[in-house]
Structure 1
Amino acid sequence: MAVPIALTIAGSDSGGGAGIQADIKAMSALGVYAASVITALTAQNTRKVQSIFPVSPDFIQDQIHTVFEDLNIRAVKIGMLGDSTVIEAVAEALRHYPVIPVVLDPVMVAKSGDKLLQPEAIDSLRDKLLPLATVLTPNLPEAAVLAGQKEPRNLVEMKELLEKLKQKNGPAILLKGGHLGGASSDDLFFDGQETICLASPRIETKNSHGTGCTLSAAIAAGLARNLSLYEAVTTAKEYLTKALSGADCLSVGKGHGPVHHFHAFWESPQQ
């Protein structure tokens, strides 16, 4: 069976809720084989990031090239990169594979509030990786940093922020509106030509660890399955909504627990 294959380039979450672990779970749940390149190791749980151990840029490049020389990678998701040297190493390696779609999730801060990207690396992310991205998936704080303006407080300001991003960055953007609050969780999707509002009901749960990782990985899974970008984005958003809806039936950790990646397969939480 020729299974579609996607590659995630991200950090490892020892608590299993975000990063590489969330990406592999999401891709697997959506019928895609997941390969991985680890950019950093984190000592992390549902409450905090205790410490971060970076992987050397040379070894990150070795992982990327070794995976590509053997596996038929159909899509790439990029998550936590840490600093400018890692960003530049990943960008340099991916330039060898220009026809592969890239989903760039500009991970800057963990759910716990711990910083995952050094501030001085923002310019490298903007200059080196954004030109290689097929779609950018920032939340509102991340988008505000990339655009160099304040974080939106409502949908009107969110649309203004998207206009700024469209001027600065690549052809497609999924601007996630989860930080706005309210009964609806509205995202804005710019596909390169038009802007579409993707609305869904807000799921009230504290178990939202890994939402950004899960969504971007699910988009990459859709692209690996040859869905159009719009289909990949809307399918991923639907998957995440269901994963959040099922999150409270899990009991993992004492802080922000993970979303339920396998909500469609588990009849009840595994003890």
Structure 2
Amino acid sequence: MANEFPQVATIAGVDSDGSAGAQADLHSFFMRGTYGALILTAAVAGNSYGIHDAQVMPLSFIDSQFKAVGEDLHIRAAKTGMLADSAVINNVAANLQKYDFGPLVLDPVISTKHGNMLLETDAFETLKTVLIPMATVITPNFYEAEHLTGQSLTDPTAIVQAAHQIQAMGAKNVMLKGRHDSSAQTEVKDFVLLESGKSFWLTGAYYDTERKNGTGDTLSAVITAELGKGNDVEDAIRLAKHFVDTAIAHEIAVGHKFGPINHWANALVQPTPDQED
């Protein structure tokens, strides 16, 4: 029967070196046993040294992609990545209301893991007011959570409060990723707040490596894949955390500087997503 195989989608940009964006999403979908579709929002000319150019897709083309996928495939969960500007965010939100793509995992590409802004102010506000209320799961990094809440996350209490503040914006489940930009670290602690009110910390090792491109994409993509297979949000989040940690721990030498994580390591290491404190 058509469309029995679990299908998921990424609504994102592509990176020319394949380390992040939609390529990282598609690698993750494949590794978690789902078929991945792509709604292309932008194309980035980048490599391990940095981003050198970018093009945003015309809105009419984004519409056409949604129509093509929505009228043929059975998308059971979807995620967002790079959405570029307010016009694209509004377009994506409108299409997600038109086509049933299942639960939405929002990877709010607002700033880098080092705090550099990636969205203009108007697009940031559109993301907050239009797309966050549609999210089944939102996965901000430490700096994105600070931007979203306007608070400095200086201690665990502030992080917990920020997760509740983001949930109050409309996102059902929040995974607030811990800070991981200091060679003095030994671990990374993520905070999870579920729609039920349950909350917990997930702790993983800190890896002092420059090969971490695509970590946020991969985390949200694995959550999406698991939701697309019918797994619950908590199990999806726990498995995604383990998947990313494994991919970082087993490096591959691609590129000269900031290289990609190793999705294929997870074919050799069986997930044991039990990292609750």
**TM-score higher than 0.5:** yes
Q: Return the alpha-carbon distance in structure 1 between the equivalents of residues 46 and 173 of structure 2.
A: 32
Query: 1:35 offset after TM fit, Å?
Result: 0.4
1:68-107 matches, cutoff 5 A: 68-98=70-100, 100-107=102-109
Check if 1:190 corresponds to 2:211.
no
Query: 1:4 offset after TM fit, Å?
Result: 0.9
2:208 to 204, 211, 226: 204
Q: Is this contact kept in 2: 1:74–1:224, CA < 8 A?
A: yes
SS at match of 2:119: coil
Q: 1:134 to 1:17 in 2, by over 3 A?
A: same
SS at match of 1:169: coil
Aligned to 1:168: 169
Residue type matched to 1:199 in 2? Answer: T
Name stretches of at least 5 consecutive residues in structure 2 with no aligned partner. Answer: 270-277
Q: Return the alpha-carbon distance in structure 2 between the equivalents of residues 99 and 29 of structure 1.
A: 20
SS at match of 1:164: helix
Give a deviation string over 1:213-234, Cα, whole Å, max 9, x none.
0100010011011110101111
Query: 1:99 offset after TM fit, Å?
Result: 6.8
Check if 1:61 corresponds to 2:38.
no
Check if 1:231 corresponds to 2:235.
yes
SS at match of 2:240: helix
1:138-149 matches, cutoff 5 A: 138-149=140-151
Q: Is this contact kept in 2: 1:44–1:51, CA < 8 A?
A: yes
Q: 1:99 to 1:206 in 2, by over 3 A?
A: closer
SS at match of 2:265: coil
Residue type matched to 1:13 in 2? Answer: D
Residue type matched to 1:207 in 2? Answer: R
Query: 1:147 offset after TM fit, Å?
Result: 1.3
Q: 1:179 to 1:112 in 2, by over 3 A?
A: closer
Give a deviation string over 1:135-167, Cα, whole Å, max 9, x none.
1100011111111223x2332322232232233
Check if 1:258 corresponds to 2:260.
yes
1:21 to 23, 41, 61: 23
Q: Return the alpha-carbon distance in structure 2 between the equivalents of residues 112 and 58 of structure 1.
A: 34
Q: Return the alpha-carbon distance in structure 2 between the equivalents of residues 9 and 221 of structure 1.
A: 14
Q: Is this contact kept in 1: 2:211–2:258, CA < 8 A?
A: yes
Query: 1:98 offset after TM fit, Å?
Result: 5.0
Q: Return the alpha-carbon distance in structure 2 between the equivalents of residues 236 and 4 of structure 1.
A: 17
Q: Is this contact kept in 2: 1:243–1:262, CA < 8 A?
A: yes
Aligned to 2:178: 177
Q: Return the alpha-carbon distance in structure 2 between the equivalents of residues 49 and 257 of structure 1.
A: 13
Residue type matched to 1:161 in 2? Answer: A
Query: 1:113 offset after TM fit, Å?
Result: 7.2
Q: Is this contact kept in 1: 2:48–2:255, CA < 8 A?
A: yes
Give a deviation string over 1:28-59, Cα, whole Å, max 9, x none.
01111110011001001112110111101221
Q: Is this contact kept in 2: 1:8–1:36, CA < 8 A?
A: yes
Runs of 4+ aligned residues of structure 1 deviating over 4 Å after TM superposition are: 110-115
- Which stretch of structure 1 is more off in the superposition, 174-183 or 237-246? 174-183
Q: Is this contact kept in 2: 1:11–1:42, CA < 8 A?
A: yes
Q: Return the alpha-carbon distance in structure 1 between the equivalents of residues 112 and 211 of structure 2.
A: 14
Q: 1:115 to 1:12 in 2, by over 3 A?
A: farther
Query: 1:108 offset after TM fit, Å?
Result: 2.1
Name stretches of at least 5 consecutive residues in structure 1 with no aligned partner. Answer: none
Q: Is this contact kept in 2: 1:48–1:114, CA < 8 A?
A: no
How many residues get paired?
A: 264
Identity of matched residues, %: 36
Q: Is this contact kept in 1: 2:133–2:171, CA < 8 A?
A: yes
1:7-18 matches, cutoff 5 A: 7-18=9-20
Check if 1:153 corresponds to 2:154.
yes
Aligned to 1:48: 50
Q: Is this contact kept in 1: 2:135–2:170, CA < 8 A?
A: no
Query: 1:115 offset after TM fit, Å?
Result: 4.7
